[in-house]
Structure 1
Amino acid sequence: MIRTSFNDGWQTRRKVNFFAELVGPAAPFQPVDLPHDAMISEDRVPPDEGATIEGGAGAYFPGGAFEYRKTFFVSEELSGKRILFEFEGVYRDATVHINGAYAGQRPYGYSHFTVDADAYLRYGQDNEIRVEARAHQDSRWYTGAGIYRNVWMLTGETVRIAPDGLRVTTLEMEGERAVVEVATRLLNDSIALHSLDLTVGILDSSGNAVAQDTTRVTVLPNEYAMARSRVYLPEARRWDVDSPHLYSCSITLSKAGEVVDADSVTFGIRSLQLEPDRGLRINGRSIKLRGACIHHDNGPLGAATYARAEERRVQILKEAGFNAIRMSHHPMSKAMLDACDRHGMLVVDEAFDMWTSAKSSFDYSLHFPEWWERDVESMVAKDYNHPSVIMYSIGNEIPESGSAVGAAWGRKLAEKIRSVDSSRYVTNAINGHLAVMSELAAQREKLQKEEDGAGINTLMADEADPADGISASDLVTERTAESFSILDVAGMNYADSRYALDRDAFPNRITLGTESFPTRIDHTWRLVEQYSHVIGDFTWTGWDYLGEVGIGRPLHATSPDNSRGAIGAPFPYLLAGCGDIDITGHRRPASYYREIVFGLRTVPYIAVQPPETHGKTFIGSPWAWSGSIASWTWPGWESKPVTVEVYTDADEVELLLNGNRVGRASAGPDHRFRAHFDLPYEPGELCAVGYRKGVETGRCRLASAQGPVTLTAQADRPVLTTTLGDLGFVSLTLTDPQGTCWTGVDRPVCVEVSGTGDLIALGSADPQPVERFDAAECPTYDGRALAIVRPAAAGKIHIRATATGCEAAETTITVE
């Protein structure tokens, strides 16, 4: 079917009571273009003032119901054709009306779905489509609301290629030779029999034709037909994380020489193998998954899914050493899948965060029994042609997983996936502690007494090591045995204590750490490397996110005997604070530490704890880093003590301050890849030198910012396009004349955008901001902020940023 963007020209407002409008003025609609997050521009409110999205879980946004409308003209020429609208994602409980008539709905906020429009359209006239969505106490994180992903208008003949009807499968691989099957689902809604010619064409990444096949297909009236073509590639190039080669497959459907329909997809040729003694192999090569769990929001953009924002995240995560993403806890966007294909990032795509047992007051468990099969089919249809997808996860920390009924549900889900895609593996991210919660009376009583409502996160953070011990207990072993047995890969959250145990107890079990504490990556990764049946680890989280506020904030005790840190944070906290990378895309010290643990970085890395925390006892959760940043600029703290962290795989590290030796300490794997130094703060240059057996392995420097504060503006790319979903990201940084970031002199930055683009978001990594992201001014945080611009037409986008005491910073982006 012909696919046309349907993103422009929408209007939106909060859902209005129909009867209230009869007696009062109508609430105005505001113009918007999609994708659009209706919640991110709402004012956040404290819990006692009406926040309804589970308080801090939803970042204190008020939630609510929202409606969208669009007027569009349908030509008389389209009469008699099939017309559908495809929604890539509407959060949540979406209902669609066309010209006042109910046309369709989708309760799950992460599934793409289509709505048949033919019966409701008025040809040769204007038409109206309305979409309603609502978000209310239905999630444990920030979800956003509204039509947050792309919308498409699909038009086609009564005989046509079905949406998502083209699937490419690698059947055989031997040397450079590959056999590919192209399966095409054809629909015939007419009362006549149709015989058509179906032509398959395969192009390589350079656009060269490498294979072709033509076959005759007859489709009976009001039925469908599945056409399968075997295509042979004698010199096939493999898709891999290091060389993500992609092919394109085009389908042309014609009758009597006239094209009736056409479609195309990209795909990759690669093989997957899984064995306990050799782990996961891609194209015959063993690989360990260096994984990042991420949520779907894009920081300052909220939940709005722009293709460039998704690609930028994938690129930064890949550069930081990750080779796999677990989309938590819902299906990944099409745009991010495309980016993972292009950049060689492996994907574990997850279906649900809940099944029949609710985790929030009004979550998807209310619809799961009726809709789960359609949502699974939607996820697989979206993922099938993406070589990056290697595994489907049927759930995350499902409480039912420790029961017989829960295992039966898991079997239904796993078998449903296998029935529609047998080429990937199936996992389930099981939390052993949660799976036996009903048996842990004392812990359950403690959990119920929690005032902050953080639930399982609070209990796990209080007792991280005991929780790991519970995961290895006989009780968990027995209660989860069936749930694990139905899977190809046993996904385990915070259960690395099972890795050695399962090697002997379950010799055929293959394990994946689907979620782990970032502060324990050195311990966890050593186990991943040690055991062949453990194929990787996914940290919580690779990228910081909105909601679950404060689970990763660095807390310090006010007295030495205060050893417990709280989970969650009060208003106006916005961020979880546990990502290796912050919401603006800036890598935190934890990211470089992880890179060293992975064996991908040999140069030491220096991070400095804030001087005001010196001498205080750290009581943050297992998701919380120390609060250190890569800065030697602490104005006002001269001669005061400060703690310096040095991360390195070297045996020893020496610290120098302004050329003078501060000290030398052991480091490397035996010392958790880190060394600590206490010294008085003195501006200048800090240098860490790594040594292995007395030989220098590398050095890292931090310099203090000196001189006047300068504001700089740097675009991530000099040229943008008018292609759907493209964006420009402009980093705003306070620096000295040498380019060193001034981290101790934050000030408000105001941004003006002119020309052929618009400012659509502005923000920083401040975990508790009071400004909205749709404002034109925000304070920097640790000397940084980020402006995001959207191109509107070919030409030039001019960005001008100002800050108190600084000359204006300007940059220009070309739009082609």
Structure 2
Amino acid sequence: MIMKYTKQLLTVFLLSVTCLLQAQRTETLLEKNWMFTKGDFPEARHTDYNDSQWESVIIPHDWAIYGPFDGSNDLQNVAITQNLETKASIKTGRTGGLPHQGIGWYRTRFDAPADKEVNLLFDGAMSEAHIYVNGKEVCFWPFGYNSFHCNVTSFLNKDGKNNTLAVRLENRPQSSRWYPGAGLYRNVHLIVTEKVHVPVWGTQLSTPHISKEFASVRLRTKIENAGNDEIQMETKIISPDGKVVAQKENKSLINNEQPFEQNFIVNAPQLWSPESPALYKAVSEIYVNGRLVDAYTTRFGIRKIEYVADKGFYLNGNHRKFQGVCNHHDLGPLGSAINVAALRHQLTILKDMGCDAIRTSHNMPAPELVELCDEMGFMMMIEPFDEWDIAKCENGYHRFFNEWAERDMVNMLHNYRNNPCVVMWSIGNEVPTQCNPQGYKVAKFLQDICHREDPTRPVTCGMDQVSCVLSNGFAAMIDIPGFNYRTGRYKEAYNKLPQNLILGSETASTVSSRGVYKFPVEEKKGARYDDHQCSSYDVEACFHSNIPDEDFALADDNHWTLGQFVWTGFDYLGEPSPYDSESWPSHSSMFGIIDLASLPKDRYYLYRSIWNKKAETLHILPHWTWPGREGEVTPVFVYTNYPTAELFINNKSYGKQSKNNSSLKKRYRLMWMNAIYEPGEVKVIAYDETGKAVAEKSIRTAGKPHHLELISNRQTLTANGKDLAYVTVKVVDKDGNLCPLDNRLINFSVKGAGKFRAAANGDATCLDLFHFPKMHAFSGMLTVIVQAGETTGETILNAKASGIKATSIRLQCI
């Protein structure tokens, strides 16, 4: 009993201490009670403005994702130089065909203590954000992708109550090459501290020495408004399993320019890696003359990164290649409005593929993505810009570069320099400045900022004009030369450049439409078809790019290649290449390994068969429902991690195929180019290196569509009003075989604790609106997204379509 009573007292004491610490610093998301309207209303900045007729919204919010799609939205008559175009043409759908242009206003009210320091932190606001508090402008930030913060202490009402926050945003036409989103699409934070406090992103943590025996940890903490007072800082290092493994108490007289420094030793450190993403915390308490004024937590990881000339990349002493993807920031049918459950779903799919790295192309990411990469084990290349001082788009970032580039870079670097997942910075993507004779000076300016603010990581740049950058000194100056495509020039660049390393900063740009196959099966560049689709045999690419096999071979055959970041992990809104010129209704990309509905394409399994060393992969393509192709050659491809497989069509053997070096495709794929279509069963038996049969897979010709099938990625949701379930909807025959040619309209309803959020089918030409509870299937499938409510209970998703049997699925919100 005495021990139990002691534990209870200890619990009460710890809770009291926690409450005391929390009282020094509070951070609140400003999510609800926002009003929004499109159009320009300058008087909306004032406190007495009547916004009762505006739309009530929850932040994060993307005003454009609700459509409607229209080919006249953001028409651009341009030549895309990075795609080697020399003649301008009308680009319909280049930015997704959604109404993101224009001006929008947001308004809300908040309370904050009048005797505290108050900051507003915006994780991103698209774009040209003017921030007003109680009628006065407190800050302006033009770049819609970056995080920024404003100290609003002096603008608050005297009693701190009922402060009016108004935000004016403007998206200009021809300001982007893809769908940028619109509005307050990332979170807004209200941060309240004492006068003496750690500012936003106020710590810098590094690990100067790492070994199996111990790691050194250096924490530098900026303190604002300290004056001449003595500062005492008490910091505990908390291990991934919650134990205090190091602590220090230090006192110092500091000024606002000199950070408070502490150094620690962590014995037998748990090292961060994609396979074991161990995370530590540095929990600091700040005292002024003995009084606790602030508490600040810095999450970090202990890992060692090395880029070795001629040898490649080493993480914690182990040589490895980046198995990475590039991703734009939109979340498909959710638009650009950030959602942690959606990000986690994307990363989960990529993790299963064997992906271990993300490039944030071509912009600063949402903080939630970086945090998830820390937690789930993805290395990151964080990239800020798609253009510098020379324009790609008429109203692009070049308008702000000279005045704002350094401020944007500093915000990005301070925001993410403590995240262990970040293993390099990129300063730009395919910027026209790379071919300017003085372009290297601009690159050096940006690289120097990275080195100044974070000397622990190297810098790269996605370069596509190889002749320029090899001859003008641009590539020779960058820490890590990053090439976008141009696989045929890797070895030339390796021999000419002093770094003796080449990174595939953007690779492949293979295009495909899920479940669509074109005959005859031929490797093609820039192929276009009347249906505006691309072949899922994975042999089609853009004129400037290549099929995946070339990048696999470069990584496998050369130590000095660092690996690759595939364009792209997921399809995204906009850039519908090769249908980007006068090709409406094409309005989303086809580059993705995974489509806009988060459904894997065939190519997913090609990458998985090579990248995921721990899982069995055995995938057959194409589907086997081809009315009218009876007796015709219909090649069968198999993507597998096994070296050999045998193909059977209706129990007739087409022989064994083994991976070999006779061609690039035969090195990584098993292909039966002489297969003849006849309805029935396609079966593949895989064999290991010893010739033993180890796996079997079959697909069958589908019969008449019979019913709908629903498969959810999860059965239980958190009742927080944000959590999501992704439900795959399939049209199947009576035996459960997918009907891959069925594109019928499917209707949905959701009852109970959750609600319908969105639907998508992955068809880059489909104009069905994402937020309506109906959607046409594409290649027999689509995805429905169900969102949790804020109360617990059961949620039922019902799906029905004309001519086939309806179905439902039950989910729980807890």
Alignment correspondent of 2:448? 415
Alignment correspondent of 1:622? none
The answer to whether the 8 A contact 2:629-2:677 is kept is: yes
Q: Which structure 2 residues correspond to residues 25-424 of structure 1 after superposition, within 5 A?
A: 28-47=53-72, 55-74=92-111, 78-122=113-157, 123=159, 125-135=161-171, 136-188=173-225, 193-219=228-254, 223=256, 225-255=258-288, 258-424=291-457
- Residue-by-residue CA offset, 1:772-813 (whole Å, 9 max, x unaligned): 111111112122222223323130233222222344433333
Q: CA deviation at 1:63?
A: 2.9
Alignment of 1:594 onto 2:598: no
> Structure 1 residues 310 and 669, CA, compared in 2 at 3 Å: closer, same or farther?
farther
Alignment correspondent of 2:541? none
Q: CA deviation at 1:207?
A: 1.8
Alignment correspondent of 2:7? none
Alignment of 1:581 onto 2:594: yes
Say which SS state the counterpart of residue 259 (structure 2) adopts: strand
Q: CA deviation at 1:510?
A: 1.6
Q: CA deviation at 1:632?
A: 2.2
Q: CA deviation at 1:679?
A: 4.5
Q: CA deviation at 1:712?
A: 2.6
The answer to whether the 8 A contact 1:391-1:425 is kept is: yes
Aligned counterparts of 1:502 and 1:359: Cα–Cα separation in 2: 26
The answer to whether the 8 A contact 2:92-2:582 is kept is: no
> Structure 1 residues 266 and 357, CA, compared in 2 at 3 Å: closer, same or farther?
same
Alignment correspondent of 1:557? none
The answer to whether the 8 A contact 1:651-1:693 is kept is: no
Say which SS state the counterpart of residue 451 (structure 2) adopts: helix
Aligned counterparts of 1:344 and 1:483: Cα–Cα separation in 2: 32
> Structure 1 residues 269 and 650, CA, compared in 2 at 3 Å: closer, same or farther?
closer
Say which SS state the counterpart of residue 186 (structure 1) adopts: coil
2:652 to 656, 660, 666: 660
> Structure 1 residues 196 and 580, CA, compared in 2 at 3 Å: closer, same or farther?
same
Q: Which structure 2 residues correspond to residues 464-613 of structure 1 after superposition, within 5 A?
A: 471=466, 477-479=470-472, 482-506=473-497, 508-517=499-508, 518=510, 519-551=546-578, 568=581, 570-598=583-611, 600=613, 603-608=617-622
Q: CA deviation at 1:680?
A: 4.7
Q: Which moved more, 1:357-366 or 1:667-676?
A: 667-676
Alignment correspondent of 1:792? 789
The answer to whether the 8 A contact 1:728-1:790 is kept is: yes
Aligned counterparts of 1:334 and 1:739: Cα–Cα separation in 2: 41
Q: CA deviation at 1:511?
A: 1.1
TM-score normalized by the length of structure 2: 0.84
Instruction: Report percent identity of matched pairs.
Output: 28
Alignment correspondent of 2:726? 729
Aligned counterparts of 1:724 and 1:166: Cα–Cα separation in 2: 32
Alignment correspondent of 2:750? 753
> Structure 1 residues 509 and 568, CA, compared in 2 at 3 Å: closer, same or farther?
farther
> Structure 1 residues 48 and 296, CA, compared in 2 at 3 Å: closer, same or farther?
closer
2:625 to 613, 633, 646: 633
Q: CA deviation at 1:287?
A: 0.7
The answer to whether the 8 A contact 2:245-2:266 is kept is: yes
Alignment correspondent of 1:16? 40
2:680 to 677, 681, 684: 684
Aligned residues: 729
Q: Which structure 2 residues correspond to residues 664-813 of structure 1 after superposition, within 5 A?
A: 664=656, 667-671=659-663, 672=665, 673-690=669-686, 696=693, 698-706=695-703, 709-722=706-719, 726-796=723-793, 797-813=795-811
Q: CA deviation at 1:646?
A: 2.9
> Structure 1 residues 10 and 634, CA, compared in 2 at 3 Å: closer, same or farther?
farther
Q: Which moved more, 1:634-643 or 1:540-549?
A: 634-643
- Residue-by-residue CA offset, 1:127-152 (whole Å, 9 max, x unaligned): 22111222221011111111111110
Give the counterpart letter for 2:131 in structure 1: V
Aligned counterparts of 2:294 and 2:303: Cα–Cα separation in 1: 29
Say which SS state the counterpart of residue 348 (structure 1) adopts: strand
Alignment correspondent of 2:82? none
The answer to whether the 8 A contact 2:31-2:58 is kept is: yes
The answer to whether the 8 A contact 1:663-1:677 is kept is: no
> Structure 1 residues 722 and 202, CA, compared in 2 at 3 Å: closer, same or farther?
farther
The answer to whether the 8 A contact 1:10-1:68 is kept is: no
Q: Which moved more, 1:726-735 or 1:597-606?
A: 597-606
Say which SS state the counterpart of residue 497 (structure 1) adopts: helix
Say which SS state the counterpart of residue 547 (structure 2) adopts: helix
> Structure 1 residues 640 and 111, CA, compared in 2 at 3 Å: closer, same or farther?
same
Give the counterpart letter for 2:678 in structure 1: E
- Residue-by-residue CA offset, 1:302-345 (whole Å, 9 max, x unaligned): 11111121122122112112111111111122111111111211
Say which SS state the counterpart of residue 501 (structure 1) adopts: helix
Aligned counterparts of 2:104 and 2:74: Cα–Cα separation in 1: 24
The answer to whether the 8 A contact 1:718-1:813 is kept is: yes
Say which SS state the counterpart of residue 404 (structure 1) adopts: coil
Give the counterpart letter for 1:592 in structure 2: Y
Q: CA deviation at 1:698?
A: 4.2
The answer to whether the 8 A contact 2:750-2:756 is kept is: yes
Aligned counterparts of 1:210 and 1:813: Cα–Cα separation in 2: 42
Give the counterpart letter for 2:67 in structure 1: E
Q: CA deviation at 1:18?
A: 5.6
Q: Which moved more, 1:268-277 or 1:803-812?
A: 803-812
The answer to whether the 8 A contact 1:646-1:674 is kept is: yes
> Structure 1 residues 383 and 20, CA, compared in 2 at 3 Å: closer, same or farther?
closer
Say which SS state the counterpart of residue 40 (structure 2) adopts: coil
Say which SS state the counterpart of residue 440 (structure 2) adopts: helix
> Structure 1 residues 582 and 176, CA, compared in 2 at 3 Å: closer, same or farther?
farther
Q: What value does the CA root-mean-square deviation take over the aligned residues?
A: 2.7
Q: CA deviation at 1:705?
A: 3.4
Give the counterpart letter for 1:421 in structure 2: D
Give the counterpart letter for 1:522 in structure 2: D
The answer to whether the 8 A contact 1:67-1:133 is kept is: yes
Aligned counterparts of 1:606 and 1:775: Cα–Cα separation in 2: 34
The answer to whether the 8 A contact 1:667-1:675 is kept is: no
Say which SS state the counterpart of residue 760 (structure 1) adopts: strand
Aligned counterparts of 2:167 and 2:91: Cα–Cα separation in 1: 24
Q: CA deviation at 1:737?
A: 4.8
Q: CA deviation at 1:507?
A: 5.0
Q: CA deviation at 1:199?
A: 1.6
Aligned counterparts of 1:214 and 1:97: Cα–Cα separation in 2: 41
